[in-house]
Chains A and B, each alone.
Chain A
Amino acid sequence: MSAALLSVERVSKRFGGLVANDAISLDVAEGSLTAVIGPNGAGKTTFFNIISGALPPTAGRIQLAGQDITGLSLQQVAQRGLVRTFQLVQLFGNMTVRENVEVGLHMVTRGTLGAALLRPRWMAAQERWVRDEADTLLGFVGLGAFAQTQADQLPYGRQRLLEVARALAAKPRLLLLDEPAAGLDTQESAALADIIQQVNARGTTVLLIEHDMSLVMRIATHVAVLDFGRKIAEGSPAEMRAHPDVLAAYLGGVEEAHA
């Protein structure tokens, strides 16, 4: 296994008396497709929010490519190459599908107010590149035909795909996907799994949180399981499927949910 791109060391998060994350450690290998799974309330989203800078941890340390990113803001973490999506789709609904991806290109382009007003020659070239790049990414996720559609007019499943395309535009070293298949039907979920696998195959390290076990088992190269705020197991998908603690946590959780 190659070196860890993301290294999380004993991260904890307390909300008052509630321990949402209890000393969780996780290494995400460069080039891997790592999944964090666990029943509802296991602390997955909190863990994700801490890694991505949306929440500061109570204790612990996070390193990205050897750089300490603990306590940095969402935007600072993004600037260091870790880009995330959201469990509740956060599109720019007021903009077209293409413009959404163009915003994703913010970090890999330049020029602010001065360039907007003065329009130096390089900016026209950059704008052309931005448009082409956005269209390429839209083509990749199969949204090429919707470039001009206003983002909030897209059907839900396609909104999910757009969020992935937009995050990819930022050329992340590590792509964090927060329950990307939530609310998708089987077919949409399979299409998304395909895309995630292709993204990974092209060299982007992916860390995803997912509730949908079948998706994770099919595409993940490495799986960590959380339950009640702790990491209870870690290994290959096959190992996790057979792990007694995982089965107990998952099946127990399901049974409780049905009770």
Chain B
Amino acid sequence: MLGVGLLGFVMLNGGYLVTVLGLAAIYGVFCTGLNLFMGYTGQASFGQSAFAAVGGYGTAILCAGHGWDPVAGLVVSMAIAGLLALVVGYPVMRLRGHYLAMATFALGLIVYELSVEWSGLTQGYMGYAGIPPLGFAGHELGTERAQLGALVAIMLFGVWLAERMKSSRFGRALRAIAGSEPAAMALGIPVSRYKLAAFVVAAVYASAAGSLFAHFIGFISPEVFGVPMVVLSFTMLYLGGIGTIWGPVMGAVIASLLPELFRGLKEMQDIAYSVVLILMLIFVPGGLAGLLRRLARKPT
């Protein structure tokens, strides 16, 4: 309800909040995917930005460089990211805990370096400009509002798919791995294979988010897909409620809007933002989704 109201308000008023919400929707896609791997399967990845970079650069190169249709660019980039996750994940998923975190972090750094150094492909530090807006079969979505509508629709589709994955035999196996790996193994669940599947799915979501970002902003550079992206996505996950279906989206929206709320505070903006984040992590440990669930459960 609140989400629909917010979206309606922004759609009517327009302005820079359209951009803010559009980015929130993109992050919503990214975090929904990451949530499957981190929230439901309970594994850490500090390198999802690498797959967003694959999506972003894939779209830039295919659509801006070779004049591909955005949908084709999106889908092909997702396939490449999924394949990369499969190849990288196969050995890496044997690692656990901190080692897994380190290995995925390294993946993020490697892809970052590649996007800087391989300038023949990525145009290096200067970034890739002139990426067309979203559209299908030759029809571009001309206005920012139309694009926001499309982004929100794609995000909701992503959440819907995530919910399907979660509430199934597949999803139960992932959550079992988060609960106890030995017990999952003892019940015959091929743990490494399921972890790898979750990693690949998360990578495909991340790639889609990267592609959408490229279309929405029209420009990407290596900095877009750096460590700050990972940190921001973690903030969103924990703020919204990791391991819940709507948490990642709620976190993405709140973490995107909070800085705007404090814009009037000028130089105090960052401090106010940080204080609110810390307070929320302390007093709303299950994230917003967890809070809402508790409120809903409480009689009256």
Contacts and interface: CB of A to CB of B under 8 A. Distances in A.
Interface string B126-150: 0000000000000000000000000
Contact of B186 (A84, A95, A119): A84
Interface string A96-136: 00010011101101111101110100010011001000000
- Interface size on B, as a range, is 20 to 34
Contacts of A115: 168-170
A109 B169 contact: yes
Given A90-B180, A94-B175, A113-B201, A103 B170 contact: no
Interface string B165-191: 100111111011011101111111111
A74 interface: yes
Given A111-B170, A115-B170, A75 B175 contact: no
Contacts of B168: 111, 115-116, 123, 127
A27 B249 CA distance: 56
A83 B175 contact: no
A84 B179 CA distance: 17
B176 A103 contact: yes
Contacts of A170: 187-188
Nearest to B177: A92
Interface in B227-269: 243
A166 B187 contact: yes
Contacts of A104: 187
B294 interface: no
B197 A112 contact: yes
Nearest to B161: A117
Given A78-B186, A103-B187, A113 B165 contact: yes
B164 interface: yes
Interface residues of A, number: 41
Nearest to B163: A116
B173 A103 contact: yes
A169 to B, nearest CB: 8
Nearest to A81: B188
Contact of B243 (A54, A94, A99, A151): A94
Contacts of B201: 113
Interchain residue pairs A-B with the least CB separation, the first 10: A92-B179, A116-B168, A78-B188, A90-B183, A107-B188, A116-B170, A74-B185, A90-B180, A75-B185, A103-B176
Interface of A: 52, 54, 73-75, 78-79, 83-86, 90-95, 99, 102-104, 106-107, 109-113, 115-117, 119, 123, 126-127, 130, 151, 166-167, 169-170
29 contacts: A75-B185, A83-B186, A83-B187, A86-B182, A86-B186, A90-B186, A91-B179, A91-B180, A92-B175, A92-B184, A95-B179, A103-B173, A103-B175, A103-B184, A103-B187, A104-B187, A106-B176, A106-B187, A106-B189, A107-B187, A112-B173, A113-B201, A115-B168, A115-B169, A115-B170, A116-B164, A116-B165, A117-B165, A130-B169
